[in-house]
């Protein structure tokens, strides 16, 4: 499996009254890593994608410090018009959260979901495990 690794810096304002990073800040961390994975590196996803669902399992609290968190991302469950991005969030090499985002390719000109393009499938295959990589290729 090829994982995409991205460092995300916490902000002081991400902490809540209990002196740990608030759960809502994690959505921003996931978004930063996902955008870096797809949009900063690949022009092929510029056609549009929307988020249909997020899931986050918080395993340990995180307290602000200047070192970035490490997020590792990979792709699972690629279908004709959706795919899942999986994440593991590490604080100083300790796993602190697991998450998943269901992404749907979207055509904003007609305001409807669309099928993944061959170029997008190729990009996703680069971040999938062997079983999912074979399934992605079978749908091309």
- pLDDT tens across 77-118, in order? 999 999 999 999 999 999 999 999 999 999 999 999 999 988
Weakest-pLDDT range from 7-16, 50-59, 69-78, 131-140: 131-140
**Residue owning tokens 């460092």:** 7
Query: Please, which pLDDT band fits residue 140 given cuts at 50, 70 and 90?
Result: very low
**pLDDT value at residue 137:** 55
**Residue owning tokens 């959505």:** 27
- pLDDT tens across 24-82, in order? 999 999 999 999 988 766 665 666 889 999 999 999 999 999 999 999 999 999 999 99
So where are the chain's domains? 4-138
| Per-residue tokens: 26 | 């994690």
Question: In sequence order, what DSSP letters do the residues of 25-57 get, joined into one string?
Answer: HHHHHHHHHHHHHHTTT-GGGTT-EEEEEEEEE
Cα separations (Å) of 61 from 22, 30, 43, 78? 9, 16, 35, 31
**pLDDT value at residue 2:** 83
Name the nearest CA neighbour of 89 among 80, 98, 76.
Answer: 98
Is the CB of residue 132 less than 8 Å from the CB of residue 77? yes
Structural fold of domain 4-138: Thiol Ester Dehydrase; Chain A (3.10.129)
What is the rounded distance in angstroms from the CA atom of residue 15 to the CA atom of residue 61? 11
């Amino acid at each position: 499996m090829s994982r995409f690794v991205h460092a995300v810096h916490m902000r002081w304002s991400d902490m809540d009254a209990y002196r740990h990073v608030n759960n809502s800040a994690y959505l921003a961390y996931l978004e930063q890593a996902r955008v870096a994975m797809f949009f900063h590196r690949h022009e092929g996803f510029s056609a549009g994608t929307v988020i249909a669902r997020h899931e986050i399992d918080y395993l340990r609290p995180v307290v602000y410090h200047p070192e970035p968190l490490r997020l590792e991302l990979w792709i699972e469950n690629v279908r004709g018009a959706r795919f899942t991005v999986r994440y593991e969030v590490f604080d100083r090499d300790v796993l602190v959260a697991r998450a998943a985002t269901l992404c749907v390719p979207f055509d904003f000109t007609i305001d409807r979901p669309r099928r993944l393009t061959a170029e997008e499938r190729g990009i996703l295959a680069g971040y999938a495990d062997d079983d999912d990589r074979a399934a992605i290729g079978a749908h091309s």
